[in-house]
A and B are shown apart, each in its own frame.
Chain A
Amino acid sequence: MASLELRNVQKSYGNSQIATLKDIALKIDAGEFLILVGPSGCGKSTLMNCIAGLENITGGEILVDGEDISQASPKDRDIAMVFQSYALYPTMTVRDNIAFGLKMRKVPAAKIEEEVARVAKLLQIEPLLERKPSQLSGGQQQRVAMGRALARRPKIYLFDEPLSNLDAKLRVEMRTEIKLMHQRLKTTTVYVTHDQIEAMTLGDKVAVMKDGVIQQFGTPHEIYNNPANLFVASFIGSPPMNFVPLRIRQRDGRWVGVLNSEQGSCELPLPITSDDGLRDRELILGIRPEQIGLAPAGSADFSLAVDIEVVEPTGPDTLVVFTLNQVKACCRLAPDQAPRVGETLNLQFDPRRALLFDAQTGERLGVVQPEPVRESKVTRLVSNGAGTAQ
């Protein structure tokens, strides 16, 4: 196992003015699981190819265990990769697929056999060893692809959207298996995905990318609860965070934001200390669906009556859609609390975790110290997300 550090990695193609990767800097310790997540075209796959040495970087350094490998050829980097299409060699048996990398490295035959047996046992693909890839199901091919990487015992594992070709059910299973595997083997792993649920569930560290720039690098917890900007906030979380245009005013020396519905309005205290010229800016309030709940009877604080427009039962939760400040917003209620369409419901907003963004730049505004959140809550959110993502 090895640590991985990227220092100001740059990548641009030909004489193109637009860099594909801009000043990518991050560091993970040996045994950590790093997620690169972002929409397609954000540069995450390019970054992975650069780490693997399949593409040359045009600036910066890539360090493995403190040693700069950015000029080394792919075969000398001791990095293994699992591809989205699995890239199994079609004319070789599963056994030969797994053994190929070892043969290329001139490992003695007896040792190869031993390694293949170990990996096959680990991944439970022993009965498949003599088959050709075309005779395997998608899930089995996925396992073989992982086996091929594991057999070499490389310093770093790269996964390039390995689950995106699987059907929804298998994907959830394999996700758990990858997590289990990582817990057992403690392998340094870089995992590219566009699926924010995979990002949340698997990663020790998450780098959210957009347009070749890392928007935020942190633990899943930080990314979810303390997003650096509007993009990160909108990308992570399912259903996504509500973004509501907000007018603010001052009351009793504090800043409050005004929420309107068809039924009335309420004021939400905002976690802002200075006024920073807030008056002149267009502001957006970000609030996650689970931070909106039913108002307890009698309590009027931060609560507002809304007309229910859509009700979407997902099983464990029911998503309820209504209009807030002229835009659609969503909250997550327990099924037994769920209203019917057309009803009016009194909702309460949790102001402590509400986020404020500049509508023009997407920058996060104000200093928010998020409440410590119990891990169990995050886990619950994510597992719910898994059910609804499809």
Chain B
Amino acid sequence: MSDFAQPRLTLGRLTIHATLLLACAVYLVPLIVMLLTSFKTPEDIRTGNLLSWPEAFSAMGWLTAWDSIGGYFWNSVKIVIPAVLISTALGALNGYVLSMWRFRGSQLFFGLLLFGCFLPFQVILLPASFTLGKLGLANTTTGLVLVHVVYGLAFTTLFFRNFYVSVPDALVRAARLDGAGFFTIFGRILLPMSVPIIMVCLIWQFTQIWNDFLFGVVFASGDTQPVTVALNNLVNTSTGAKRYNVDMAAAMIAGLPTLVVYVVAGKYFLRGLTAGAVKG
């Protein structure tokens, strides 16, 4: 019996490994294709196929792509950095109040905010663009920063609130008796222990805002567009022959920052994605 069971087991394990490896290949192929294509010449693209090795590695695609979207890349940087920092800071303060200093109505507010996590943004696009116009922020990176802060608030607050809810409130009570006030308790006691959730929040906001297209395409135009919008314009405005090497290089440029963050801090990225989903 055991002689029979042993090979069956290995066969099963083999199937599992084979399936997992096949899946790895499927997930990796688009990335590989993008990389290969970005280094080919247009001639090479016509004669070869997706997975054919470049005849000669050409940096032309990358250089042309950077010329086209490099400026927009910096736009994205200018939008992302303040938006991420401000929304994270606000989220941390909100989470602190909503978990440690609850008052009548604060739970209702949290419920209203939670709904914001699921809001289809189409429903606020028009009033938001009117408002930005009135504020003189239409088509500015500042306007985009503002929009990203406002609509990132729901998630950043949720992150911190869920984190602080698991912190015993005896800590706050002890600090109050020790004579610490609202901000002292936050700065001296809670913030130093929040490093993991700050990382989660920063990474989540970074990927969300960097990858945003909807707000970028609606609230920005011309020189202020973020890189995602510029990439889309580059790829989908068909004047003359399609330059797939340039498209792929541009896509790589636009995707690289979030990929790097993911590879470097993947642990936090995963935690950010699953926060609120598994734990509730």
Using a CB–CB cutoff of 8 Å, the interface residues on chain A facing chain B are 14, 49, 52-54, 74-75, 79-81, 83-87, 89-92, 100-101, 104-105, 148, 152
Could you list 26 examples of A-B contacts with CB < 8 Å? A52-B177, A54-B176, A75-B177, A75-B180, A75-B181, A79-B177, A81-B173, A81-B174, A83-B170, A83-B173, A83-B174, A84-B170, A85-B170, A89-B171, A89-B175, A90-B171, A90-B193, A92-B192, A100-B180, A100-B188, A101-B177, A101-B178, A104-B179, A104-B180, A148-B178, A152-B178
Q: A77 — nearest CB in chain B belongs to which residue?
A: B177
Give 1 or 0 for each of B154-188: 1 = CB within 8 Å of chain A CB.
00000000000000101101111111110010001
Chain A residues within an 8 Å CB radius of B178: 75, 100-101, 104, 148, 152
Chain A residues within an 8 Å CB radius of B192: 91-92
Q: Are A74 and B176 in contact, with the CB atoms below 8 A?
A: yes
Q: How far is the CB of B270 from chain A (nearest CB, A)?
A: 24
Chain B residues within an 8 Å CB radius of A85: 168, 170
Q: B192 — nearest CB in chain A belongs to which residue?
A: A91
Chain B residues within an 8 Å CB radius of A74: 176-177
Q: Are B189 and A80 in contact, with the CB atoms below 8 A?
A: no
Q: How far is the CB of A56 from chain B (nearest CB, A)?
A: 13
Q: How far is the CB of B100 from chain A (nearest CB, A)?
A: 12
- A79 to B193, alpha carbons, bound, how many Å? 26
Q: A52 — nearest CB in chain B belongs to which residue?
A: B177
Chain A residues within an 8 Å CB radius of B188: 89, 100
Q: How many residues of B contact A (CB 8 A)?
A: 18
Known pairs A74-B176, A87-B168, A90-B171. 10 more at Cβ < 8 A? A52-B177, A75-B180, A81-B177, A84-B170, A89-B175, A91-B192, A92-B192, A104-B179, A105-B179, A148-B174
Q: Are B173 and A87 in contact, with the CB atoms below 8 A?
A: yes
Q: Are B168 and A104 in contact, with the CB atoms below 8 A?
A: no
Chain A residues within an 8 Å CB radius of B104: 14
Q: Are B179 and A87 in contact, with the CB atoms below 8 A?
A: no
Q: How far is the CB of A25 from chain B (nearest CB, A)?
A: 24
Chain A residues within an 8 Å CB radius of B189: 89, 91-92
- A304 to B41, alpha carbons, bound, how many Å? 109
Using a Cβ cutoff of 8 Å, how many contacts connect chains A and B? Answer: 60
Using a CB–CB cutoff of 8 Å, the interface residues on chain B facing chain A are 104, 168, 170-171, 173-181, 184, 188-189, 192-193
Q: How far is the CB of A43 from chain B (nearest CB, A)?
A: 17
Q: How far is the CB of A154 from chain B (nearest CB, A)?
A: 9
Q: How far is the CB of B30 from chain A (nearest CB, A)?
A: 43
Q: Are B175 and A54 in contact, with the CB atoms below 8 A?
A: no
Q: B104 — nearest CB in chain A belongs to which residue?
A: A14
Chain A residues within an 8 Å CB radius of B176: 54, 74-75
Q: How far is the CB of A22 from chain B (nearest CB, A)?
A: 23
- A53 to B170, alpha carbons, bound, how many Å? 13
Q: A101 — nearest CB in chain B belongs to which residue?
A: B178
Q: Are B170 and A104 in contact, with the CB atoms below 8 A?
A: no
- A90 to B168, alpha carbons, bound, how many Å? 11
Q: A83 — nearest CB in chain B belongs to which residue?
A: B170
- A54 to B100, alpha carbons, bound, how many Å? 12
Chain B residues within an 8 Å CB radius of A90: 171, 193
Known contacts A75-B179, A104-B179, A104-B180; A87 and B174 CB within 8 A of each other: yes
Q: Are A104 and B171 in contact, with the CB atoms below 8 A?
A: no
Chain A residues within an 8 Å CB radius of B179: 75, 101, 104-105
Known contacts A84-B170, A104-B184; A91 and B193 CB within 8 A of each other: yes
Q: How far is the CB of B92 from chain A (nearest CB, A)?
A: 15
Chain B residues within an 8 Å CB radius of A53: 177
Q: How far is the CB of B189 from chain A (nearest CB, A)?
A: 5
Q: Are A87 and B184 in contact, with the CB atoms below 8 A?
A: no
- A53 to B175, alpha carbons, bound, how many Å? 13
Q: B168 — nearest CB in chain A belongs to which residue?
A: A85
Q: Which of B173, B175, B188, B193 has the most CB of A within 10 A?
A: B173
- A154 to B188, alpha carbons, bound, how many Å? 22
Chain B residues within an 8 Å CB radius of A54: 173, 176-177
Kindly list the 7 A-B residue pairs having the minimum CB-CB distance in the complex, ordered from nearest: A101-B178, A104-B179, A87-B170, A91-B192, A75-B179, A87-B174, A83-B170
Q: How far is the CB of A23 from chain B (nearest CB, A)?
A: 25
Q: How far is the CB of A218 from chain B (nearest CB, A)?
A: 29
- A152 to B181, alpha carbons, bound, how many Å? 17
Q: Which of A54, A81, A84, A104 has the most CB of B within 10 A?
A: A104
Q: A154 — nearest CB in chain B belongs to which residue?
A: B177
Q: How far is the CB of B170 from chain A (nearest CB, A)?
A: 4
Chain B residues within an 8 Å CB radius of A101: 177-179
Q: A84 — nearest CB in chain B belongs to which residue?
A: B170
- A35 to B193, alpha carbons, bound, how many Å? 34
- A89 to B189, alpha carbons, bound, how many Å? 6
Chain A residues within an 8 Å CB radius of B173: 49, 52, 54, 81, 83, 87
- A152 to B192, alpha carbons, bound, how many Å? 24
- A326 to B168, alpha carbons, bound, how many Å? 48
Chain B residues within an 8 Å CB radius of A75: 176-181
Q: How far is the CB of B168 from chain A (nearest CB, A)?
A: 5
Q: How far is the CB of B53 from chain A (nearest CB, A)?
A: 53
